[in-house]
Structure 1
């Protein structure tokens, strides 16, 4: 994983405010809908969190549901999608085989060491012709040529990322999911500042890139602290959405 797994029960109260809010959620929802085939009737938004993206996944004839493992997140999501969210482990969904037309997993697979299990479970609940839509290569999305990226890039371990494209595509193929063209969208409000990046480093973010070595943390923190304009956000990331279709 590229980041420390957060306590999402505690994060719920300020999650939207610190994650780009409505502009970021709207861009994500619009991108997901571009990949949902016409005529689809059901979409499950995995790890829906506070439901900010879920409530924007709207299309005539499409019924959208959300699932998350955190009670606090779901309490917020329930106000945005009444009667359409459920507490569930993305590896063990309370759904029968071949029961959905689409499954989305936005900003999920990079967080967990069991991303392949989530892909397998999505394949199980998708009907033939149904699609899995998921963000992949999240760390690389932040590599937008800024001075922060120049410092962090040598330590970024793409091979260890649980959402790397080759891993997800390989698992998808093993479970009857064939690739189809994906898309990209902007992570509005996610361009980091040097000062905030130092805070994240010391809080344990990115630790898997260098096995949490305290000496590396301090070396990187010093380099980041020396950058100009420490509170100026750098360029927003461009996230990649991969898409896979369930074979008949």
Structure 2
């Protein structure tokens, strides 16, 4: 996994900066409960999105396990961030009105402990909002890269921890129901064929990491044969879902 302490200083700039943070915050706002309440932003990182969620009457708290990230978050959202693990949140049971998990589940070997902890801290009627299907975000528009990678993605994507079917199945078994969803763009985050090959061979793409080595190598050969190797294809479009705790 990425060294988030070491990457903290460059993290925002390498991931779309303020434009992507603004788009993410606007999308979260469409799903967050209206009126006063407490929102817990888990894996808040540098706080670039967290700070944008604050409103009169709404307390927004951030939690992250990386001290390097939290140092930046504390400057942006002073007095409202804390060091903590997503599987052991420093928050009481039923204490918050909403939990946000943005770009977290796809990083985990198993998302269920984090989802269970988020459910624990939600009050009945509270809302859990999370990104799902992160790597599919790059293929919402047709492209030559989408065509080359499609067979591998279809075969292995259901195994990734943030697959929407897996998350929704877990939610249904634990008293959370789908109450909303939306998308937002990753402005400037489109990848070229060369970049995709590097990400796959580096083991950074869950659906390729889960594949047989020969299958992943075949996709890389297909990517290498595409024209305009340095030209980014369409920007990703990320998906957010909102799950309400019923009991």
TM-score (norm 2): 0.91
**Structure possessing the higher relative contact order (Cα contacts under 8 Å, 6 or more residues apart):** 1
User: Corresponding residue for 1:175?
Assistant: 174
Q: How many residues align?
A: 244
C-alpha distance in structure 1 between counterparts of 2:20 and 2:243, whole Å: 23
User: Corresponding residue for 1:44?
Assistant: 40
Higher helix share: 2
Residue by residue, what CA displacement relative to the aligned partner does 1:56-88 show, whole Å, maximum 9, x if unpaired? 113221111111111111111111111111111
User: Corresponding residue for 1:95?
Assistant: 91
Residue by residue, what CA displacement relative to the aligned partner does 1:191-235 show, whole Å, maximum 9, x if unpaired? 111222222223222265354655555443333233222222211
- Range that drifts further, 172-181 or 67-76: 172-181
Q: Which runs of 5+ in 2 are unaligned?
A: none
**Shift in alpha-carbon separation, 1:59–1:227, aligned structure 2, 3 A:** same
Contact 2:159 2:210 in 1 (8 A): no
User: Corresponding residue for 2:133?
Assistant: 137
C-alpha distance in structure 2 between counterparts of 1:208 and 1:137, whole Å: 11
Contact 1:210 1:216 in 2 (8 A): no
Contact 1:24 1:188 in 2 (8 A): yes
User: Corresponding residue for 2:115?
Assistant: 119
User: Corresponding residue for 1:62?
Assistant: 58
Residue by residue, what CA displacement relative to the aligned partner does 1:142-169 show, whole Å, maximum 9, x if unpaired? 1121212222221121211101122212
Give every structure 1 segment of 4 or more consecutive aligned residues whose post-TM-superposition deviation is greater than 4 Å: 210-218
**Shift in alpha-carbon separation, 1:193–1:184, aligned structure 2, 3 A:** same
Q: Is structure 2 residue 187 aligned with structure 1 residue 155? A: no
Q: CA RMSD in A?
A: 1.8
SS in 2 for 1:242: strand
Contact 2:36 2:56 in 1 (8 A): no
C-alpha distance in structure 2 between counterparts of 1:87 and 1:213, whole Å: 38
- Range that drifts further, 138-147 or 94-103: 138-147
Note the C-alpha offset of 1:25: 0.8
What does 1:1-248 align with in structure 2 at a 5 Å threshold?
5-143=1-139, 144-156=141-153, 157-206=156-205, 208-209=207-208, 211=210, 215-248=214-247
Q: Which runs of 5+ in 1 are unaligned?
A: none
- Range that drifts further, 217-226 or 149-158: 217-226
